[in-house]
Structure 1
C-alpha cells in the first residue's frame, strides 16, 4: 500500500510551503527559525546542493517547531538518504515507476510531481491521494488545476513552480488545492544577506493566506448544503 500517511496533515498545516535551496548548512537553522517566526511551520529543502542533507539534519535537530521535507527527489536511494537526515516527507518534480515502487516501502511519504491528466491518473492507479503540480505556471496554472477538480476529485495538489505572493491566492481558492509551494518569502538574495527579519515579514504575509483556504472550505460546505 502506498505510504502517504500523514501527508494531508502536513500539507494542511500551512497555506504556503517555502521551497528553499541552501548552499551553506550554517544558514539552515536561522532561516528555518525566521520562516517559523512568520508562521510557516513546514519547509521543503531541495536536494540540489551539497549542503542539502546537512541542512535537513540541522533543522530537524534544532528547530522543533518546523517539519522539514526533502525536495527534488529523483532517485529511489534519495528517499532513504532523506529519511536518515530526518526529513518527514519527500517531494519529487515528477515520477518514475522505480520511484513509486520505492515510495510504497519507504518510511516517509512521497509527494510526486505531475504536469498532465495522464500522469495524475497514473498516481490514482497507484493509490496516491496527493501530488505536486509542477511546474505550475508553465503548464496551465490555475485554469488547468481547476479543470481537474471534477473528473479527478480523488487527487489533491500542492502546486509549485513560478507561483508568487500575488498568484498564490488564486490557487488556494481551488477545492483540489491543499497548499502551494513557493520561494518568494526566502529568495536567495535575502538568504545570502542573512536578512532573517525581512524573511519573517514575508513569511507572515504568506501565512496570512490561510484565510483564503478557510474561505475555500466554507464555500465547499455551502455547496454541499445547497
Structure 2
C-alpha cells in the first residue's frame, strides 16, 4: 500500500483505534469488532514487546482490510523493525528527526506527538504527514484543533485522547482530521467493541 493510499484511508475514515494488546487472540477480537463496526485504521502500540509480531500477524491475516500502523515508536531502529513487520504508518509520542528521515526514506507516513506550535512547525519541516496532538488532546478537548488550525489551517491533526461518543461531533466541527480512540474500541467483548464502532461510525457519517 503506497503512502498516498494509506493517508487517503486515514483521512477518509477519520478515526483510528489505539490498541495496546498482549496476545494475538485478543488482537483478533479487537480487530474483528472494529471491522464489524466500519473502522479499519488500527495503531498497535510498541509499549508491548511483541508489538512487531502482532503487526505481522494482523497484516498477514487481514491484508488491505486494515490500515495497520505502529505507535509509541521512540527511535529509528524500532521504526524500521515495525515497517519490516508490516506497519503502514508510524506514530510517536514526540518528534524525532531520525524517525522522520527513516519514514521519508521508505515513504511511510510519520505522525509525531507535538504540544506546541514550535514543535508542530519543526515536525512539518521534518516531513511529518500529520501531527499527533499529544498529550494535550486530553487536557484541552475539541477546542484544541481550532486553536492549532487558526494560525496554521493546513496542519493535519490526529487527536489522541479526550474523545467520547458525546463530543465526537465537536472534534469534527473543529476540523480534526483523524480521531484516535482507545478504550471504546479496545475494551470489552468483540460484540461490545463492534457496537461502539458502529456508533462512532454513525456519528462521523453524519458530519
CA distance in 2, matches of 1:10, 1:71: 17
Distance 1:202 1:13, change over 3 A: same
TM-score of the aligned structures, taking structure 1 as reference length: 0.82
Counterpart of 1:146?
A: 146
1:169, 1:18 → 2: CA distance? 17
Contact 1:131 1:158 (8 Å CA) reproduced = yes
**Count of aligned residue pairs for this structure pair:** 205
Shift of 1:158: 0.9
Match of 2:203 in 1: 209
Quickly say closer, same or farther: Cα 1:127–1:79, change in 2 above 3 A.
closer
Structure 2 unmatched runs, 5+ = none
Deviation track 1:75-103 (CA, whole Å, cap 9, x = no partner) reads 11111111111111111111122222323
- Aligned partner of 2:29 in structure 1 is 30
State the alpha-carbon separation in 2 of the partners of residues 165 and 58 from structure 1: 30
In 2, distance between residues paired with 1:142 and 1:73?
25
How many angstroms does 1:179 deviate by?
1.4
**In structure 2, C-alpha distance between the alignment counterparts of 1:158 and 1:206, rounded to whole Å:** 16
The equivalences for 1:82-101 within 5 A come to: 82-101=82-101
Q: Which runs of 5+ in 1 are unaligned?
A: 216-226
Name the CA distance, whole Å, in 2 between partners of 1:48 and 1:67.
19
Aligned to 2:78: 78
Work out whether 1:120 is the aligned partner of 2:120: yes
Larger gyration radius, structure 1 or structure 2? 1
- Which residue matches 1:219? none
Q: Is this contact kept in 2: 1:132–1:157, CA < 8 A? A: yes
Distance in 1 separating the partners of 2:77 and 2:148: 32
Q: Distance in 1 between matches of 2:77 and 2:129?
A: 23
Inter-partner Cα distance in structure 1 for 2:111 and 2:87: 13
